[in-house]
Amino acid sequence: MSIKLTILGFNSAIPKKKSAPTAQLLEIANRYFLIDCGEGTQVQLRRAKAKFSKINHIFISHLHGDHVFGLIGLISTLQLLGKETPLKIFGPKGIQDFIMNQLRHTQSNCSFEIDFIELEGKSSVKIFEDEKVEVYTIPLNHRIYTNGYLFKEKPKKRKLNIEAVQQYPEILTCDYDNLKNGRDFVLESGEIIPNEKLTLDPDPSRSYAFCSDTRYKPDIVPIIQGVDLLYHESTFLSDLQDMADYTGHSTAKEAATIAKDANVGRLILGHFSNRYNDLNVMLDEARPIFENTHLPVLFEAIKID
């Protein structure tokens, strides 16, 4: 499995009894990335049976409480659980002081290193890269400095066409890596076997874009072009467009327009205003523009293979 997204909360602003503020757990190429961390996220992680020990990277979109008030509690719990590996926290400039001041007042001696990567740029930049995954910022437009995040698998290796390879006894298993990396094979006779004859196209590299909170911002379209999965906030319906503009949020119509223009695979809406009891109104507004639109479901794993 390439990507598994578990939504831990998608409430806006005021926490409720049976839902939770924004937090998501993204598993991509076997890495665990936590995205946003509203109050109570650590309990939601428990409900999702997440392995706390695997959380080494946290991405915070912005410093509004419904996206970050659970972070200090999670850090505190990781400490009580004896975490030793470093924790990287990506978030807006100020997040280090925000957290460290709380740790200081609570007289916490962290058992692990916290590495804060503070963001303040206004254009999309790569903020994380390892062997298999890259993460980019998606600058958003909210009342406070905010980034979405784009998570991408790197291009994968080509797959061996075993039947084809076996026709050449000269090709040994120690050659396979070169083939997967796209190299041609040269026989002792000097004959060149083109790579395409020995390998198959790699599995597609999957991608996920998280965009919350934000006003309609069409200039993110090139950044998220063609992602397999997009989470885009839709706090309001279009009849409250003025309210959306004023509070720095999007409507369902706007979220769907972004999804359509970016030609994404699937759109998940979220961060709905508490005024909407029946969330199907969101789908009614979005689907005529982008059909593959869905509501978030707490703890339901969205998988992209």
Q: How far apart are CA 54 and CA 45, in angstroms?
A: 12
- Clarify whether 66 is annotated catalytic: yes
Considering the complex, state which of residue 81 and residue 297 has its C-beta at the smaller distance from a second copy.
Answer: 81
Task: Provide the CA 276 distance to its chain's centre, in angstroms.
Answer: 26
Q: Which residue's CB is nearer to a second copy, number 63 or number 160?
A: 63
Residue 40 binds a second copy, judged by CB under 8 A: yes
The count of C-alpha atoms lying within 13 angstroms of the C-alpha of 252, restricted to the half-sphere facing its C-beta, is: 27
Is 168 among the residues that bind a second copy (CB under 8 A)?
A: no
Closer residue to a second copy, CB minimum distance, 39 or 228: 39
User: For a second copy, which residue of 1, 53, 121, 143 counts as binding (CB under 8 A)?
Assistant: 143
Contact 287, 211 (CB under 8 A): no
77 binds a second copy (CB under 8 A): yes
Does 17 participate in binding a second copy (rule CB under 8 A)?
Answer: yes
Q: Is residue 138 a contact partner of residue 209, using CB atoms and an 8 Å limit?
A: yes
Annotated catalytic residue, options 36, 66, 115, 228? 66
Per-residue x/- mask for a second copy, residues 50 to 69, rule CB under 8 A? -------------xxx--xx
Is residue 122 packed enough to be buried (19+ CB in 10 Å), middle (13-18) or exposed (0-12)? exposed
Residue 97, annotated ligand binder?
Answer: no
Q: Which is nearer to a second copy, 29 or 60 (CB)?
A: 60
- Report the C-alpha gap between 192 and 13 in whole angstroms: 63
Q: Is 249 known as a binding-site position?
A: no
Residue 102 is a binding residue for a second copy (CB under 8 A): yes
The answer to whether the annotation marks 239 as part of a ligand binding site is: no
Sign of the Cα pseudo-torsion (5, 119, 94, 109, in order): positive
Report d(CA 115, CA 57) in Å as an integer.
10
Q: Does 299 bind a second copy (CB under 8 A)?
A: no
Q: Report the nearest approach of a second copy to the CB of residue 107 (Å).
A: 5
Rounded to the nearest 10 degrees, how much is the dihedral formed by the CA atoms of 287, 229, 59, 286?
Answer: 0
List the structure tokens of 102: 């709380």
Is residue 270 within 8 A of residue 234, CB to CB? The reply is yes
Note whether 114 binds a second copy by CB under 8 A: no
Minimum CB separation of residue 156 from a second copy in Å reads 37
Toward a second copy, which CB reaches closer, 16 or 126? 16
Q: Which residues pair with residue 233 across a beta bridge?
A: 270
When binding is defined by CB under 8 A, the residue of 39, 153, 233, 285 that contacts a second copy is 39
The answer to whether 232 is annotated as binding is no
Number of residues that bind a second copy (CB under 8 A): 35
Q: How far apart are the first and last CA of the chain?
A: 5
Residues 6+ apart with CB under 8 A from 276: 237, 282
- The interface region with a second copy, picked from 95-103, 166-174, 245-253, 293-301 by CB under 8 A, is 95-103
Phi/psi at 66 (5° precision): -70, 0
Distance separating alpha carbons of residues 161 and 22, to the nearest angstrom:
44
Query: Under the rule (CB under 8 A), what is the footprint of a second copy?
Result: 13-17, 39-40, 42-43, 46-47, 63-65, 68-70, 72-73, 76-77, 80-81, 94-95, 97-98, 101-102, 105-108, 143-144
Q: Which parts are annotated binding residues for Zn(2+)?
A: 62, 64, 66-67, 142, 213, 271
